[in-house]
Structure 1
Amino acid sequence: MRTVQIPAIAPRRTSEPEPDLTSMYVIHRAMLTDLRRLIKVLGGPARLRGSRDRAVRRYAGSILTEVHHHHANEDDLLWPIIARTAGHAVDLAPYTDDHEALAPVLDRCTTALGGDQRALGQALAALLDLLDDHIAEEESALLPIVARYVPYDAYVWAERQIARRASFGQLMFTAPWLVRHATAEEAARLLAGAGAPLRVLVALSRRGYARREREAFGAEGRA
């Protein structure tokens, strides 16, 4: 990922609009939901074979990429913005420590993509345990501080930087994946703030994502 220069940012004034954190809540939900779905299908009584096995591993690889990029973007973009606007109100060290603890677990999951199915399921379960606690703490303690101190425009800037850091191939998964896990109201907000190019990308990639989801989880695998 390329390095991004963080601009000077003043704390949000109470008269200014709060940042729209919809994308944060949706990506949290999407990561946890799909990890649970993957663990369930990998832990089933019958071994996955052939194209189903390949589809599940490919989908798992995409989710691991999403988890990695999400936390790298927090470290590189969101945490510095929070430090500049709300440094006096929050200690980011526990969240950074969580990210450091996630790194070796992500590495084990990536290695397990090429190995035994049960071992992959167990590695993903360990990742889910860490993410469950980390996300719960973020949403209960940190995101309210973001809403209070980070200006709306600064958060929009961070979201645009995140989109620019992603490859086209990653966006072809990420864009429809987020819409898939959003409520109708959340999806409308995400698309309204995405800009025309990303809205076109969602339209172009939805069918391909739906096929990948079907191949991995089957008709019964919808969350």
Structure 2
Amino acid sequence: MLINPNAPADKPEIQQMKVIHRVMRREFAQLPDLIAAVRVGDTARARLLGDHLSLVLDMLHEHHEAEDELLWPVLVQRVPLEKDLIAVMETQHQAIGDAVDAVAAQLPAWTDDAGAAARDLLTDALRDLGPALTEHLDLEEDEVLPLIHDHLTVPEWVAPQKHAMKHGPRTLTGKLTLAGMVLEDATPRERAWFLGEMPAPARLLWRLTGARRYDEHVRLVRAGAPSPS
């Protein structure tokens, strides 16, 4: 199903990627403040947020891996005049990957004892990651997605989505949480598209228990959010 019913069915619908980007923007914007607000020694909350952060980091990794393997090579071949732009995408992916590694390196120490020093190092690493990710997503949406729309086939566009789904969370809880992240801010047509991409058993499970479980999960994750000033 297309998000935009007026979009041509024989062209990649780039709004689909913007839905996924929205999740990343939201989660990486919220997590530094959520983690910074955790009390020293509160290991239960540190582990809750640590598991959530790990899921978001994995989502970002799989998303970029799929682009590196399945989008950029095709785009360079199809539009060689834009090879410099694609090289910038690849360079940004590497910088973001390094920032993700820095976050991941700090995470175990904090979830282990919820200490102040480990918390602050993790928060700083996340705040370093945020601007690099935002710059990349902005450039991709402004400059690269239009090229994808004009020059890639629908199967070529769908391939990275299938790759990310295949290599996504292994646990049922992780799968349902990831689905909830995508559906949280989705419009009705975006919801219909995403649910339509899910296998029928997963779609039924989401409706029976997944939505409720995600609501409880996100309530717990954001319970310690700082009050707006």
Q: Tell me if TM exceeds 0.5.
A: yes
Gaps of 5+ in 2: 1-7, 111-117
Deviating more after overlay: 46-55 vs 121-130:
46-55
How far apart are the structure 2 equivalents of 1:50 and 1:16? 49
Deviating more after overlay: 155-164 vs 131-140:
155-164
Gaps of 5+ in 1: 1-14
2:192 corresponds, among 184, 188, 194, to 188
Percentage of matched positions with identical amino acids = 24
What per-residue deviation string (whole Å, max 9, x for no partner) do you get for residues 36-93 of structure 1? 1111222338547242222111111111111111111111122233234333445311
- Asked if the contact 1:175/1:198 (under 8 Å) is kept, the reply is no
Residue 183 of structure 1, CA deviation: 2.2
- Asked if the contact 1:59/1:212 (under 8 Å) is kept, the reply is no
2:101 corresponds, among 107, 119, 133, to 107
Partner of 1:4 in structure 2?
Answer: none
Partner of 2:123 in structure 1?
Answer: 121
Q: Segments of 4+ in structure 1 off by > 4 A?
A: 45-48
Residue 160 of structure 1, CA deviation: 2.3
How far apart are the structure 2 equivalents of 1:18 and 1:166? 26
TM-aligned CA distance change 1:160 to 1:142, over 3 Å: same
How far apart are the structure 1 equivalents of 2:31 and 2:127? 9
TM-aligned CA distance change 1:16 to 1:137, over 3 Å: same
Q: What TM-score do you get using the length of structure 2 for normalisation?
A: 0.79
Q: Secondary structure at the match of 1:168?
A: coil
1:158 matched to 2:189 = no
Partner of 1:78 in structure 2?
Answer: 71
- Asked if the contact 1:77/1:158 (under 8 Å) is kept, the reply is yes
| Counterpart AA for 2:137 | I
Partner of 1:205 in structure 2?
Answer: 210
What is the count of residue pairs matched by the alignment? 207
- Asked if the contact 2:59/2:168 (under 8 Å) is kept, the reply is no
